[in-house]
Chains A and B, each alone.
Chain A
Amino acid sequence: MSVSADAGRHRIETLLATHEDQIFRRWLEIAGASSSGHVDRGNLNGQLRELYNALVRSFGDSGDPDGSSELRGLLAELSRNRARQGFTPTETATVVFGLKEAIYESVGDDGSSEALQGFLWFSRLVDDLGLFTMETYSATREKIILDQAEQLLELSTPVVKLWEGIVAVPLVGTLDSARTQVVMEKLLQTLVDTGSEHAVIDITGVPAVDTQVAQHLLKTVVAARLMGAECVISGIRPQIAHTIVTLGIEFGDIVTKATLADALAHALRESGVEIVRNRGSRVALRTVEE
């Protein structure tokens, strides 16, 4: 049995060498058809040619791991690029599995039992390579997702100063625990750094408020209060107010306002700044001496 397997293997290796043109053309056809419109022929041709040569080299001396590692390196690069360029998993996998179909035709022409035996062995090998490709593909995808999540965390939390002693955080997007933690820390640190006693958390850009989000907001407000600052929550849209009441969330004695402007006016009043409308349409501000 093992003798026959070895013979089959040799047969395939011979086929790959002798029918190179035919097999390669067929492979290029299959791979090209699966990813048409995404990649130009010349580029694909070059990639597959390299892969083919590496594959043949890897047979040359099976005891030598370099041939196989070169092949795997090329495959990893191919699948990484494809993941970045937005190819589907099928398109990526078909490139590898197409080789099986390409060689099957040459095996059929050959017709010998060694060739069939060898095809079984070769098919297992291609399956291995295909799995390896998919693993690299999904690892790359996951890395992209992780990177994007990190970028999202970085860009989503500006703390802006509205007035002397008043800062605001305009929250945009869905709040989860990780993001709230970042927002919370950044806000509290800003309170310390600027010595601000008033903070406005604006949730105009938060699409939905559920119990968890409300819990996060409450925690932030209580933490700020512990440090000696007062928080106002603003930007509560009508449907969000409805949701909050329906869910039975208690905001207790935390001040909530409909718009950021209302919240700013409240904070100004609390910090002793009075807004006066003058005879013209100008608005004057003055600080009330305590």
Chain B
Amino acid sequence: MDRVPVLKLGDILIVSIQIDLQDQSVLALQEDLANKVVETGARGVIIDITAVEIVDSFIGRMLATIAAISRMLDAETVVVGMRPAVAITLVELGLSLGGVRTALNLEKGVALLNHIDGSEIATAAR
């Protein structure tokens, strides 16, 4: 079974999905990610799906579940690099990934997380 690596960059965790996801790998990924968030105290998780060409409802649910788990552990999830065809498919499937933030690419995803963090600090300081 292929395991998806979880990379740490500052206080952000990056997961880049480059393989065809099997159900087992998805479950393992959720587990690894939860452990890693607790271990590192990360405040943000970025899931890069640039290389994902085919999605089904299972993958859609996986993204929502990961976001929910991360939020429980006080980390924001951003899904980046979704292809147009994938976005259309998810809409046709009726999955709008409520509660998941999205960005066009990795760079904008990191910027988004920094922005959220900055605004939270600003609110706290007020």
Partner of A226, one of B97, B105, B115: B97
How many residues of chain B have a CB within 8 Å of chain A?
A: 24
Q: What residues of B have a CB within 8 angstroms of the CB of A188 in the complex?
A: 84, 87-88
Cβ of A189 under 8 Å from chain B: yes
Cβ of A108 under 8 Å from chain B: no
Q: Known A184-B88, A185-B88, A188-B88; judge A226-B82 contact (CB<8 A).
A: yes
Q: What residues of A have a CB within 8 angstroms of the CB of B101 in the complex?
A: 228
Contact B84 A227 (CB under 8 A): yes
**Mask of A218-229 contacts with B, CB within 8 angstroms, 1/0:** 010011111111
Q: Known A188-B87, A219-B91, A226-B91; judge A197-B104 contact (CB<8 A).
A: yes
**Mask of A221-246 contacts with B, CB within 8 angstroms, 1/0:** 01111111100000000000000000
A-B pair number, CB within 8 angstroms: 60
Minimum Cβ distance to chain A for residue B14 (Å):
16
Cβ of B3 under 8 Å from chain A: no
Interface centre among B78, B88, B92 (most CB of A within 10 A): B88
Partner of B102, one of A184, A195, A226: A226
- Chain A residue with minimal CB distance to B88? A223
Interface residues of B in 23-53 (CB under 8 A from A): none
A positions within 8 Å CB-CB of B: 184-185, 188-189, 191-192, 195-197, 219, 222-229, 290
Supply 7 further A-B pairs (C-beta < 8 A) apart from A223-B87, A225-B102, A226-B97: A184-B84, A192-B84, A195-B108, A197-B104, A222-B91, A225-B96, A226-B87
B positions within 8 Å CB-CB of A: 78-80, 82-85, 87-88, 90-92, 96-97, 101-105, 108-109, 112, 115, 118
